[in-house]
Chains A and B, each alone.
Chain A
Amino acid sequence: MLELKNVSYRVGTPDGELEILKHIDLTIPDRELVVFTGPNGGGKTTLAKIIMGLVRPTEGQVLYNGEDITELDITERARRGISYGFQQPPRFKGITVQTLLQLASGGEKLTKDRCCAYLTQVGLCANDYLDREVDTSLSGGEVKRIEIATVLARGSSLMIFDEPEAGIDLWSFARLTETFEQLHRRKEHTMVIISHQERIIRLADEIVVVSGGGITNRGSTEEIFPLILANTTGACPVIGRKERSE
Chain B
Amino acid sequence: MITEIDAKLLEKIADLTGKPAGALNIRKDSGCEARQSTEHIAITGKEDKPGIDIRIQNGTRGEKCYIPVIISKTGLSEMVYNDFYVGDDCDVEIVAGCGIHNAGCDESRHDGVHTFYIGKNSRVHYSEKHYGENAPEQTGKNVMNPKTVVYLGEGSVMQMDTVQIRGIDSTRRETQFVCEAGSEVVVTERLLTHGNQTAESEMEIRLNGAGARGRVISRSVAQDQSRQVFYPKMVGNSACFGHVQCDSIIMGEAKVQSIPAISANCTDAQLVHEAAIGKIAGDQLLKLETLGLTPEEAEETILNGFLA
Determine if A166 is an interface residue (Cβ-Cβ < 8 Å).
no
* Proximity string of chain A (67-97) to chain B, C-beta cutoff 8 Å, 1 when within and 0 when not: 0000001110011000110101110111100
A86 and B306 form a contact (CB under 8 A)? no
* B287 touching A86, Cβ below 8 Å: yes
Q: Is B290 an interface residue (CB 8 A)?
A: yes
B18 contacts chain A at the CB level, 8 A cutoff:
no
* A176 on interface, CB distance cutoff 8 Å: no
Query: Among A88, A94, A104, which residue has its beta carbon within 8 angstroms of that of B305?
Result: A94
Cβ of B292 within 8 Å of any chain A Cβ, yes or no, is: yes
Stretch from B3-11, B82-90, B157-165, B294-302 that touches the partner: B294-302
Contact of A74 among B284, B289, B305 (CB under 8 A): B289
Specify which chain A residues have a CB less than 8 angstroms from the CB of B307 in the assembled complex: 94
- Pick from A84, A93, A94, A95: contact of B290, CB under 8 Å: A84
Residues B305 and A83 in contact, CB atoms below 8 Å apart? no
Provide the main secondary structure of the chain B interface: helix
The answer to whether A195 has its CB under 8 Å from any CB of chain B is no
CB within 8 A of B281: which of A90, A95, A99? A90
Q: Is the CB of A75 within 8 A of B305?
A: no
Report the minimal beta-carbon distance from B144 to chain A, rounded to whole angstroms: 23
Taking the complex as formed, is A150 at the interface, i.e. its CB lies under 8 A from any CB of chain B? yes
For chain A, the count of residues having a C-beta within 8 Å of the partner chain is 23
B283 at interface (Cβ–Cβ under 8 A)?
yes
Cβ 8 A contact of B288, one of A73, A93, A103:
A103
Taking a contact as CB atoms closer than 8 A, the residue among A54, A103, A106, A150 that contacts B286 in the complex is: A54
Name the one of B287, B289, B304 contacting A73, with C-beta atoms under 8 angstroms.
B289
Residue from A94, A103, A104 in contact with B306 in the complex, judged by beta carbons closer than 8 Å: A94
A100 to B283, CA, bound (A): 15
Asked if residues B292 and A99 are in contact (CB atoms below 8 Å), the reply is: no
Determine whether B109 belongs to the interface, using a CB cutoff of 8 Å to chain A.
no
Residues in B neighbouring A89, C-beta threshold 8 A = 283, 287
Would you call A47 an interface residue if the criterion is a C-beta within 8 Å of the partner chain's C-beta atoms? no
Of all A-B residue pairs in the complex, the 6 with the closest CB atoms, nearest first, are A95-B305, A94-B305, A74-B289, A78-B292, A90-B283, A94-B306
Other than A54-B286, A104-B291, give 4 A-B pairs with Cβ distance below 8 A: A75-B295, A92-B305, A93-B247, A99-B305
